[in-house]
Amino acid sequence: MPNHPAIAPGRTAVITGGASGIGLAAAKRYAQLDMNVCVADVDGESLQTAASEIAAASPRGQEAVIAVETDVSQIDQVARLKQQAYDRFGEVAVLMNNAGTGPGGGPWDHYEGWQRVMGINLWGIINGVHTFAEAMIHQDTPCAIINTGSKQGITNPPGDAAYNVTKAGVKALTESLAHKLRNTEGCRVTAHLLVPGFTYTGLIRRHVPEKPPAAWWPEQVVDELLSRMANGDFYIICPDNDVSREMDNRRMQWAAEDLIRNRPALSRWHPDFEAEFQAFTKGD
């Protein structure tokens, strides 16, 4: 199957949060496809290691790769990232706003955690869109903006309200971005919301030294991303080895029906609805 037209030899991909996990796996894949890669991360040491790995995956080696240390919560640093990408490669075909962190905090605790995850997970993507989108539109070439969300931004499980809020914001922003792009005359830029399932990334590895059987590798998420982008999909909701797409659909439907049926908020985790939810997910 052919790739999305933005993903082609000689085109340029910019990936934030690219020193590890899904971002690094995507950067390597773009490099293997003979794209130019501009990889960004806040950790300079890890970033340089990642850049070497990405260059090793590219047919053109280091010539096709630059690394730009970037704190995506700071729009001036994102503007510098854009400038360096355009100065080196002359265009940007793929912007992958992927940088993320956690945990954040509960509804009334860990205020500093709230500020940190809001700055990276949500403002980082806002900054990326504000900085790159119009320039990519004006190129008049096929382009794509990929924002990394989370299932927690859709079903809002209890435990980390701050993280959930950031990812719900990413979903809302990316939906609005897609609508704006398709209603902009002559625009050849598409938007895509990447929603990984359980993925064994650095955030998980800190606490679990070996990949759990239920988790996907980051490379599997990238495979799903490229396949679904080629189909023209906006919502790229990934399964994993434990949760199928059918199960995700039922969980999302239940969450939406809390509003429609006027059930208690987050009724999926309410003891009065436990049996009903279990029966619903089994299709009973």
Task: Point out the catalytic residue in the list 30, 86, 111, 163.
Answer: 163
90 torsion bin: left (phi>0), alpha (psi -120 to 50), beta (else): left
Exposure of 171 in the CB half-sphere (CA atoms within 13 A):
19
Q: Distance (Å, rounded) from C-alpha 36 to C-alpha 162?
A: 35
Q: Is 163 labeled as catalytic in the residue annotation? A: yes
Give Cβ neighbours of residue 222 (< 8 Å, ≥ 6 apart).
Answer: 22, 25, 26, 29
Q: Distance (Å, rounded) from C-alpha 128 to C-alpha 169?
A: 14
Neighbours of 149 (CB within 10 A): 26
Neighbours of 50 (CB within 10 A): 25
Contact 52, 73 (CB under 8 A): no
Output the DSSP codes for 161-181.
HHHHHHHHHHHHHHHHHHHHH
Cα-trace Rg, the chain: 19
Contact 37, 27 (CB under 8 A): yes
Q: Distance (Å, rounded) from C-alpha 42 to C-alpha 98?
A: 12
Q: Which residues pair with 12 in a beta bridge?
A: 36
Token pair, residue 102, equals 């956690």
Closest CA to 174 of 96, 82, 77, 116: 96
Active site residues: 163
